[in-house]
Structure 1
Amino acid sequence: MGGNGGGGTNADKRPNELLGSWFVRSGWSKGELARQVNRRARQLGANHISTDTSRVRRWLDGENPREPIPRILSDLFSERFGCVVSVEDLGLRATRQTLSVSGVDLPWTGPQTVALLSEYSRSDLMLARRGFLGTSLGLSAGPSLIEPMQRWLVPPQSGPCAPQEPRPDSDAAERRRPGRLSKPELELLETTTVMFRRWDAQCGGGLRRKAVVGQLHEVTDLLQEPQSEPTTRKLFKVAAELAELAGWMSYDIGLQPTAQKYFVLALHAAKEAGDKPLGSYILSSMSRQMIHLGRPDDALELIHLAQYGSRDCASPRTQSMLYAMEARAYANMGQPGKCKRAVRMAEESFREADEWDEPDPDWIRFFSEAELCGENSHSYRDLAYVAGRSPAYASLAEPLMRRAVKLFADDSEHQRSYALNLIGMATVHLLRREPEESTRYASQAMDIAKKVRSERVSTRIRKTVDTAARDFGDLAEIVGLTDQLAVDLPETAAQAV
């Protein structure tokens, strides 16, 4: 690859109007974009990249740069606009890559899932810089994300939700296989995963993320050793839960491409484990990320995929969570009728949870009445914003959010959720043009944010305070809140990974 990241032939070259449009809207100069590309390339270890204004001009004129330039540009523009800007959105052609860095379109096979989990977790542990994992940094969206995920629905050999049983002709081989992992050791791995999940809920994603990635890497080592088939399936389940949690923690501290890659690998592992409810939960995490990134259409596709894939085996609590996420997607798409229907379905499914005969898996136990109220309230709050700050939808959000805040106030294990719902309450009061009440809730959220390593919480507080300052900047309470923000959550403060 050339030192400037140049592309191939210039024959029939025409101006790249898509890249030009994003570039103009960004407000960057050619020199500033070149400097950002060079800085990001150095962070990736691509020290041979040396871009200048003339090279940027050539990209705008239609030259197609080589990797990793397209994915660096995708990442930079995504960060600039707060939504996914794919390589294709920029009018660039991604070059063919090896399996380990080919985005989300990966082979749905056990050995390759293990190899990719091992490689990705090892890279994450080795690199000191936050989230820079080579050319896999690009986010996928639209058909390039949804179509590969649909392969999750390809049925296993046995029932729709049951793990595959060993083939009869393999029984003798299974008996001879040594199986290094004992039952107590496997149970300890499962218990450790539960412990990590508790830490994340209480302390945020920035405190223990590396520990989770390290544990995931250890599990992939075990998966590469001879094990009995039942043990292998359980190890895949542990790997899926750990990869989802690593993705969730990465999402929580703002490492969006890293989070997406872990979610995708977690879904592959869940399929190998034969655990479709777990797969639906992973898809819901991916859906939440897409809502956060301004892609509600993609979020809805992922949730419908989760619902369809687990319709015969997900517990009422899991179904309730999926309906609540469906409501969030519809709200952000500006579809109030479908949003309200999904909210009702979430509430009805949740009422059936107590009648469910089997215990829920640990990964869904977080979805309490408080979470349900918080999710549904956020759906109405989002509808209010999409509808031009509608006071009617804000009024629907207020009692649900109040209930969520009350319940989370008594829950010491879910401090991040408490903070997020306090922020939600602050935004609802801003929509209702009640700045004094908004200030009270935002101040409480700030007190918790100081103890929780969550960039998501900090970012939402900053956005809420910025909105309050823009709309009610002359009020003494808002001035005081802005001052508190500068002291408690200075924007330069780094979140530990």
Structure 2
Amino acid sequence: MNDGGQAGKCPNERLGSWFLRSGWSKGELARQVNRRARQCGAHHISTDTSRVRRWLDGEQPREPIPRILSELFSERFGCVVAVEDLGLRPARQSPAASGVDLPWAGPQTVALISDFTRSDLMLGRGGFLGASLTMSAGPALIEPLQRWLVPAPAGEAPAGAPSGAARRAPRLSGPELELLEQTTGMFRSWDAQCGGGLRRKAVVGQLHEVTELLQERHPEPVRRRLFRVTAELAELAGWMSYDIGMQPIAQKYFVLALHAAKEAGDRPLGSYVLSKMARQMIHLGRAEDALELIHLAQYGSREGSTPRTQAMLHALEARAYANMGQPGKCKRAVRMAEDTFADTGAHDGDPDWIRFFSEAELYAENAHSYRDLAYSAGRSPSYASLARPVMERAVELFGREAAETEGGGHQRSYALNLIGMASVHLLQREPEECAARAAQAIDVAGQLRSERVNNRLRRTAAGAVREFGRSGEVVHLSERLRTELPENEYARAAAG
């Protein structure tokens, strides 16, 4: 099958550079392209080594090959590798396909969420949905999102259904609305306990049902509450998708959640959605984009947000500065997070979505900031020493919660911080201690469905093997990982 255009006159040096650094052979890249094409329903694609050689020589392949190559190299390197970065021509895409630059209007938001969730439920992760999306980054991501703070034109009547399609719904009772809100909180607890892979489809289904309710006309207070539930569910669907490595789908849900939060008139919730988008950008190696998103969130939440929300944003700001290698600004943001958190009460006035940000989470964020600073500064021992006691405290608090809370509490956070502690031991050249903490994390990871946890474990173990491959404890850790958490076809996508 001819899947490309005419050969170019000059070799594609950009594609060649990424290919060389990947360590793949031409045959391996061809096999990965064919496998991804089958997953997205493009069964006509049949690539071989000669075709890969022609791409490297300058041939421009037809869609969906450029998009597939972008995904594969992004997953390989843990950062956004756009089609243009590979020296390939991107296909023209509609706003719905790019996932970011969407109209800021209630009816369109409802229609987009309804269509997207329907496709997600029908096609799932093995269908065309994921491959039809691309990640946005840089100005293409930041500039459209800045409009979430722009007020609607004066006199514009809010609407919750497409023009001409609305009809008055039976009045939703207070208990019915409360049940929807409680169900969202239940899903959030399940995610923290079990990871994103177990109940993601249930959240997407619930989100679709709520948007069906928004197709009807409701009194303004009911409409705003429904949009608030919609925003929370869309954020959670995005977070669960992120947790299992479905990055473009996660970003699309986050964007839709931000639109719904604007319709709800809930700026603190919108800021929370932006914080999740910032975490995703840090994960993808785009710390500068993450910082822009955090500052946008901080600006939007100046009024109405609680100290707990503000502390979370300061802590995340520190993570961005750490990954940018700016220790002074990182430490200042850490202090701001600590000082602001000191003003929090026992969840007084906090919405349910921010109550996860406990003392343990504060220690965890700050410890990871210091750990990231150590890596940014060339494995600095001084920053690793700063990270150690803070990470130990986070592990202690999460471990206590896991032992004392019915259902195990925030199991995923416990696992991630055990891995974080293992990485600090690795920085301090303590292979036995690293292996011991990672082994604890394997025990917890076995109860989760989180590729994010599994891949951080694999990455930490791989680092330990590279540096201390003769250590018996490290060898045993590597063997346990291969046996108990075998890598699947989505593992690389969730790396980081």
Q: What TM-score, normalized by structure 1, do the two folds share?
A: 0.89
* Counterpart residue number, 2:250: 259
Distance 1:301 1:281 in 2: 14
* Counterpart residue number, 1:365: 355
Which range moved further: 364-373 or 224-233?
224-233
Distance 1:249 1:453 in 2: 10
* Counterpart residue number, 2:299: 308
Native 8 Å contact 1:177 1:228 kept in 2: no
Question: Deviations along 1:315-346, whole A, 9 cap, x unmatched?
Answer: 11101101111100110111100000000000
Superposition map of 1:167-316 within 5 A: 177-316=168-307
Instruction: Give the counterpart letter for 1:385 in structure 2.
Output: Y
Which range moved further: 310-319 or 344-353?
310-319
Q: Does 1:430 align with 2:423?
A: no
Native 8 Å contact 1:5 1:66 kept in 2: yes
Deviation at 1:376, TM superposition (A): 0.1
Deviation at 1:80, TM superposition (A): 1.6
Deviation at 1:222, TM superposition (A): 0.9
Q: Does 1:146 align with 2:137?
A: no
Distance change (3 Å), C-alpha of 1:299 and 1:126:
same
Deviation at 1:367, TM superposition (A): 0.2
Deviation at 1:13, TM superposition (A): 6.3
Distance 2:9 2:422 in 1: 52
Question: Deviations along 1:118-140, whole A, 9 cap, x unmatched?
Answer: 11111111124447515433212
Instruction: Let me know the Cα RMSD of the aligned residues.
Output: 2.5
Native 8 Å contact 2:210 2:226 kept in 1: yes
Native 8 Å contact 1:100 1:119 kept in 2: no
Instruction: Give the counterpart letter for 2:289 in structure 1.
Output: D
Native 8 Å contact 1:156 1:274 kept in 2: no
1:439 to 430, 435, 438: 435
Native 8 Å contact 1:202 1:413 kept in 2: yes
* Counterpart residue number, 1:458: 454
Question: Deviations along 1:404-456, whole A, 9 cap, x unmatched?
Answer: 11111121311111111111111111212222222221111111111111111
Distance 1:484 1:30 in 2: 31
Task: Provide the secondary structure at the position in 1 that maps to 2:86.
Answer: coil
Distance 2:2 2:185 in 1: 47
1:405 to 368, 371, 395: 395
Distance 2:51 2:487 in 1: 33
Distance change (3 Å), C-alpha of 1:343 and 1:119:
same
Task: Provide the secondary structure at the position in 2 that maps to 1:206.
Answer: helix
Native 8 Å contact 1:72 1:138 kept in 2: no
Native 8 Å contact 2:245 2:490 kept in 1: no
Question: Deviations along 1:56-75, whole A, 9 cap, x unmatched?
Answer: 45544545444323221211
Question: Deviations along 1:16-54, whole A, 9 cap, x unmatched?
Answer: 432232233223344443433232222111223344555
Distance 2:364 2:480 in 1: 26
Which range moved further: 286-295 or 99-108?
99-108
Distance 1:165 1:397 in 2: 51
Question: Deviations along 1:145-195, whole A, 9 cap, x unmatched?
Answer: 11221222213469xxxxx9978xxxxxxxx94444322211111010000
Distance change (3 Å), C-alpha of 1:319 and 1:60:
same
Distance 2:315 2:105 in 1: 31
Instruction: Give the counterpart letter for 1:370 in structure 2.
Output: A
1:393 to 383, 389, 398: 383
Which range moved further: 420-429 or 39-48?
39-48
Distance change (3 Å), C-alpha of 1:367 and 1:194:
same
2:22 to 21, 26, 35: 26
Native 8 Å contact 1:426 1:464 kept in 2: yes
Instruction: Give the counterpart letter for 1:439 in structure 2.
Output: A
Distance 1:494 1:140 in 2: 20
2:72 to 76, 81, 86: 76
Give unmatched runs, 5+ long, in structure 1. 159-163, 168-175
Instruction: Give the counterpart letter for 2:379 in structure 1.
Output: R
Which range moved further: 396-405 or 366-375?
396-405
* Counterpart residue number, 1:120: 116
Q: Does 1:377 align with 2:373?
A: no
Equivalenced residues, count: 477
Distance 1:320 1:81 in 2: 31
Distance change (3 Å), C-alpha of 1:421 and 1:6:
same
Distance 1:487 1:30 in 2: 29
* Counterpart residue number, 2:163: none
Instruction: Give the counterpart letter for 1:366 in structure 2.
Output: F
* Counterpart residue number, 1:110: 106
Deviation at 1:355, TM superposition (A): 9.1
Native 8 Å contact 2:168 2:216 kept in 1: no
2:481 to 472, 485, 496: 485
Q: What TM-score, normalized by structure 2, do the two folds share?
A: 0.90
* Counterpart residue number, 2:333: 342
Deviation at 1:470, TM superposition (A): 1.9
Distance 1:103 1:94 in 2: 15
* Counterpart residue number, 2:33: 37
Distance 1:25 1:19 in 2: 10
Native 8 Å contact 1:205 1:250 kept in 2: yes
* Counterpart residue number, 1:173: none
Distance change (3 Å), C-alpha of 1:241 and 1:355:
closer
Instruction: Give the counterpart letter for 1:126 in structure 2.
Output: M
Native 8 Å contact 2:306 2:349 kept in 1: no
* Counterpart residue number, 1:170: none
Question: Deviations along 1:70-101, whole A, 9 cap, x unmatched?
Answer: 22121111112121111222233322233432
